[in-house]
Homo-oligomer: A and B are copies of this chain.
Amino acid sequence: MTHDAFEAWTRETLGRVEQGLTTWVRLEAPAGLGEVMRYGVLDGGKRLRPLLVMAAAEAVGAAASEAALRAACAVELIHAYSLIHDDMPCMDNDVLRRGKPTVHVRYGQAMAMLAGDAMQALAFEVLTPAEGEMPAALQARLVGLLARAAGEEGMAGGQAIDLSSVGQPLDEVQLADMHRRKTGALLQTSVKMGAACGAPSPAAWAALSDFGAALGVAFQVVDDILDATQASATLGKTAGKDADANKPTFVTVLGLEVARTRARDLHARAHAALARSGLPQTERLGLLADRVLDRTS
């Protein structure tokens, strides 16, 4: 696949996701809540998770399904809500996100918390349409995957470890466990949700799951490297926050060079998993993994 073809697929897919989010995050939500939710989720971010859902759905021949688009939007709603809550003063106290003031800076803390709460609920609404072409069994499956990735076994649990780790010496295993939950679970689940829209063999499912796991950790290692080496203007968010907050990162635990090697190893593992899947159309998943390693912001 040429670079141009991949870029064209990315643009077209993100257009569909943006359209889905614009439909489902209703501006008409009461008392300005719709505006706040839209501020938090529309028109921003790299949309890595929805792209993973759609690329995984393509790998299993389900890219055109309504379920895949709903899964892509649901996972982005969970991601976006988590950023809103993370940025609040009682958590990371960040004022800049995607180059814009964070939601609580723009709309106040109460509306930010509420918008995040409503977005989590909305993710599960999007996965359970009362009408349309989405089988109930698939609805239940996707809800189960997403809820477990978002909750204490996944993202929220990872954030709790993160909170309690400030100033604590974590070793690489503990750090990897934290990030497997905090960031990795939702990335891996994006791949699984896309795959669940088709009917992969158990072997293909296991391989895609391993691809998602490797990509999930690689993403965080690269994030920590960028946080340690890039300026805020490039990142579109406040750089160096984790080191400043005395939080352990892959860079502080491993050192910069070992962290870079770790990222490359995980990248190779992700590609090996794709090769092992036996699925014919995994090229875009591979290119997304390349993009995770090569990104500069």
Segment of A39-47, A112-120, A208-216 engaged in the interface with chain B: A112-120
Q: Are B124 and A160 in contact (CB under 8 A)?
A: no
> A118-B152, A152-B26, A181-B30 in contact; A113/B137 too (CB < 8 A)?
no
Contacts of A143 in B (CB 8 A): 124, 127-128, 139-140, 143
- Whether the pair A152, B113 counts as a contact (CB closer than 8 A) is no
At the interface, yes or no: A231 with Cβ under 8 Å from chain B?
no
| Chain B residues near A152 (CB-CB < 8 A) | 26, 29-30, 33-34, 37, 118, 121-122
Please tell me if A111 contacts chain B, counting CB pairs below 8 Å: yes
| Total copies of the chain | 2
Of B108, B120, B141, B161, which is within 8 A of A117 by CB? B120
The answer to whether A158 has its CB under 8 Å from any CB of chain B is: yes
Between A113, A152, A159, the greatest number of chain B beta carbons within 10 A of the residue's beta carbon is seen for A152
* Assembled-state Cα–Cα distance A163/B113 (Å): 12
State the CA gap A158–B30 with chains docked (Å).
Answer: 7
Cα–Cα, bound, A148→B121 (Å): 7
Is the CB of A109 closer than 8 A to any CB of chain B? yes
A280 an interface residue at 8 Å Cβ cutoff?
Answer: no
Contact of A140 among B113, B136, B150 (CB under 8 A): B136
Q: How far is the CA of A33 from the CA of B279 in the complex (A)?
A: 39
Asked whether A245 is an interface residue with its Cβ less than 8 Å from the other chain, the reply is no
A173 within 8 A of B: no
- Whether B156 lies near A118 (C-beta < 8 A) is yes
A164 on the B face (CB < 8 A): yes
Looking at the complex, which one of B108, B124, B140, B160 makes contact with A111 (CB distance below 8 Å)? B160
A88 partner, pick from B33, B113, B129, B158, beta carbons under 8 A: B113
A151 close to B (CB within 8 Å): yes
Across the interface, A144 reaches (CB within 8 A) one of B26, B30, B128, namely B128
Q: Does A278 contact B (CB under 8 A)?
A: no
